[in-house]
Structure 1
């Protein structure tokens, strides 16, 4: 890159654009030392000729579950033949046939024939390779909650964990990963599965703002040329990602803001680039969160967004009183709705004095109003009913 004020058509801001892809595996896993140690402990018996343990990995989206497992699996594959790791994305592969084809390809290094191959033949091929190297199989079922929705969770766990009974191989280990915190994968297992599935639960809490900034700074150093992203803008992006509790939002924001600057032929990202990228990246997340609200919660959220745009008092007590003109609702229901909005990650309820907590939107007020705009605006008249 030259030092002229504008980029030439053959220049780029990206030293390595792959660094900002979700499939990228960083050289170092930040702030997941405890989780790495637990997974390594479960793999250790297999390295000594025994069987690997199993685990359930739980945590919100964007907390490093997939990256941590894939990084460990790559290190295992590069350093030993005693353990054969197989990663399965259950969002895409959720039938027994699809899952076993995925395992076959990673164990044998090539895909099985697309037709005419019975499932038992695929299992036989996997087992033969495991016996050849006296290796233990470890399968990661990422997004395993999709298996429960498809009704194949118990079937697959039973078959994988009991491969040793029919095919004379070491007992396999299973790492089941889920971002659905309301789902207990062990409770989803039936009695026949629980007899062989004794998972360690490994939790992945959301990254803090400081941790997200460190992760993003590492990606920026690897993926961008120097001085492309000013530090104050990196701080701003880290704060946005922390608000979303998803480091992937921050990675995508860096990429999108840089692409916008590059398209305009500029060598440095501007605050306007970050603002535009934020609306493009976070709008889908906002729509998804708003879609999960009840009719009453959406109506209250729309009123809060309109009030915020007008610069009005955002104390919860003031909002409650003002809302009575448009959305008559009792205090108990009002606070239930308010807590639901906070649990959905759309508002923050900040302790205050006087008239209760301050209600702060995590998103642009205009975007919130658009995401939950009612089909007909509330009438300015009092009634005796409450919000649904």
Structure 2
């Protein structure tokens, strides 16, 4: 029943982006000068999880790439690596630059120089920008004349509240683009487009599509994850030929667990270590968590940085949960 499994992945960038026409045009207007050999306008994309922020950025830059020879672009998700070296290296390598440079052992100035020396304009898509360890990473990218930044995060106020004043003033002039959660009807349209691209006709009931949109409550990532799990379950069962509401109910918990694990797999070294300690412990007091982390980590991050990591893991990504405050605070991994 599955004709193209890629269409059932959240990372898939479709050929047409539904219900984002105004946002597409807004970002395209910011980047369009690049096609004429000029400098693009930096952009900031905000919105809750599952609103298609990353897909929007990739879609528009991909379309721009088709219109011009004078463009390279690179993507880096800061949740997988948030140091200055990791971000600059990630953007540089994804843009097809610096194949001879190594992430470990090469100075960050080498990454900056390679971006600066590019024979084309470079668009740097910096995802989950709120978890950057060093605001000067953004400053370094801003200072490269041929680099245009598309930064992605959940909350605008939270981002600007924690930025260095110099970086904040530079980013205030960037084009802000805010995405809201999808309505039920919009989510149905998105699911139907994925179904046409990835499944044979007739393999899911109309009621099941609407039900997935209901339970996902405006979150496209969750909706697509449930669809993928349901399609996988039916394709493995010879006695079933169609995704129904009952099958959606059967796979929903497993789908949410899979989405959770995908997010965990994206975590960088220190964030992943904190998560693994919490998961292995069941419930762990904050003081014990920090002590265990310091014993296991090579070059441990400062406690203030760790607290920010934990806050992001809980409030923005839902990977952990906490109870209490101060010395009595405990951490755990949520149950599904």
Same fold flag (TM > 0.5) = yes
Q: 2:220 maps to what in 1? A: 247
CA–CA distance in 1 between the matches of 2:197 and 2:251? 21
Contact 1:145 1:183 in 2 (8 A): no
Greater radius of gyration (CA)? 1
CA–CA distance in 1 between the matches of 2:130 and 2:169? 20
Distance apart, 1:113 and its partner CA: 2.9
Q: For residues 264 and 111 of structure 1, do their structure 2 counterparts lie closer, same or farther at Cα, with a shift above 3 Å needed?
A: same
CA–CA distance in 1 between the matches of 2:164 and 2:98? 33
Contact 2:97 2:114 in 1 (8 A): no
Following superposition of structure 1 onto structure 2, how do residues 145-224 of structure 1 map, counting pairs within 5 Å? Answer: 145-147=130-132, 151-152=133-134, 154-164=135-145, 170=146, 172-179=147-154, 181=155, 183-197=157-171, 198-224=173-199
Q: 1:124 maps to what in 2? A: 113
CA–CA distance in 2 between the matches of 1:371 and 1:194? 38
> What secondary structure is seen at the aligned counterpart in 2 of 1:113?
coil
Following superposition of structure 1 onto structure 2, how do residues 272-287 of structure 1 map, counting pairs within 5 Å? Answer: 272-282=246-256
- Which is worse superposed, 181-190 or 73-82? 181-190
> What secondary structure is seen at the aligned counterpart in 1 of 2:49?
coil
Distance apart, 1:228 and its partner CA: 0.9
CA distances 1:43-85 after superposition (whole Å, capped 9, x unpaired): 1222223221112211111101100101112222233133332
CA–CA distance in 2 between the matches of 1:49 and 1:228? 47
Q: For residues 27 and 110 of structure 1, do their structure 2 counterparts lie closer, same or farther at Cα, with a shift above 3 Å needed?
A: farther
Distance apart, 1:267 and its partner CA: 1.6
Q: Which has the higher contact order (CA 8 A, sep 6+)?
A: 2
Q: 1:337 maps to what in 2? A: none
Distance apart, 1:193 and its partner CA: 1.9
CA distances 1:263-290 after superposition (whole Å, capped 9, x unpaired): 221222233211111232347899xxxx
Which residue, 10, 15, 21 being the options, matches 1:27? 15
Distance apart, 1:86 and its partner CA: 1.9
CA–CA distance in 2 between the matches of 1:259 and 1:284? 13
Contact 1:108 1:126 in 2 (8 A): no
> What secondary structure is seen at the aligned counterpart in 1 of 2:124?
strand
Q: For residues 45 and 239 of structure 1, do their structure 2 counterparts lie closer, same or farther at Cα, with a shift above 3 Å needed?
A: same
Q: Number of residue pairs matched? A: 262
Q: 1:355 maps to what in 2? A: none
- Which is worse superposed, 261-270 or 110-119? 110-119
CA-atom RMSD in angstroms = 2.6
1:230 aligns with 2:205: yes
Q: For residues 220 and 99 of structure 1, do their structure 2 counterparts lie closer, same or farther at Cα, with a shift above 3 Å needed?
A: same
TM-score, length-scaled by structure 2: 0.71
Unaligned runs of 5+ in 1: 1-12, 165-169, 287-369, 373-388
Q: 1:256 maps to what in 2? A: 229
Unaligned runs of 5+ in 2: 261-333
> What secondary structure is seen at the aligned counterpart in 2 of 1:123?
helix
Contact 2:46 2:156 in 1 (8 A): no
CA–CA distance in 2 between the matches of 1:34 and 1:42? 13
Distance apart, 1:371 and its partner CA: 5.4
CA distances 1:309-331 after superposition (whole Å, capped 9, x unpaired): xxxxxxxxxxxxxxxxxxxxxxx
